[in-house]
Amino acid sequence: MASNNIAHPDGPGLSILAVGDVFVDRDDNSITEARAKADIVVVSFHWGDSTVPFSLTDHERRTARLAIDNGADIVVGHHHHMLRGVEFHSGKPIFYGLGHYVFDLPNLAERLARDGYLGVGRPEEMAAWARKFGEFMIRPRQGYPLLPFHQDSRLTGAAVIHIAPSGRISAGFLPAIINPANEPIHVSADSDEGRRVVAYLERCCTTEQLPTRLIAPRPDSGLPTSCIEFVSTSTD
């Protein structure tokens, strides 16, 4: 495999796809088909930039909106290894990234040394990755042998959705902290650890200027009181 992980004529690797109208139309068709068969459509995408915190790409925001315009009720993103912000489009929630929940990479140092796992086995490749990813590079972390990611990745949780008979969707989040045994431990949003997660989510939203506010669940939201609720501040 090439040192940059990109496929080339003499070896395997990643095949990079530029998202054009043909690809988008293909996704739209599958979502439209699901819409015709289902009461609720949840669409999940593997997307985004995992090299920095908080960041959302234009592709994520465009694709999420297209998915909802074509029938999705809820969009859930993943890949970033850390939480991302939440917003609404046409009243439908977009969870751009839920971070880690059940994820482990045991014996990372040994795997890197043995077979260049993730393409970063040799010292020069490790140095290149360190320059690219900085403190967010995947590497062994003291005290967390199964989770070799930046400490921000330990702030996590579960999306919580309530759909009323009227079709109104309430979107919430139940915070959790990943402990050294790599177990996600749920915490109340108003606990000290829960407030850490909520503050991080607020920063995810404000950094990307998402029109979303995090509040205690409204009485008519149908969400558990241990959650936080996302509400749109957009005037659209």
Q: What is the mean pLDDT of each run of 10 residues along the chain (236 residues)?
A: 64 67 64 93 93 93 93 95 97 96 80 62 70 80 91 97 96 98 95 97 98 97 96 86
Domain assignment of residue 10, yes or no:
no
Q: Which two tokens stand for residue 218?
A: 């409204």
**How many degrees, rounded to 5, is the angle at CA 119 between CA 115 and CA 125?**
105
Q: Which domain holds residue 69?
A: 21-105+143-232
Domain assignment of residue 110, yes or no:
no
Q: Identify the three-state secondary structure at position 209.
A: coil
Strands 74-78 and 42-46: parallel
Q: Is residue 154 a contact partner of residue 147, using CB atoms and an 8 Å limit?
A: yes
Domain assignment of residue 111, yes or no:
no
Looking at residue 180, its pLDDT comes to: 95
Reported pTM:
0.86
Q: Which two tokens stand for residue 113?
A: 């040394």
Cα–Cα distance, 209 to 200 (Å, whole number): 14
Query: How many domains does the chain contain in total?
Result: 1
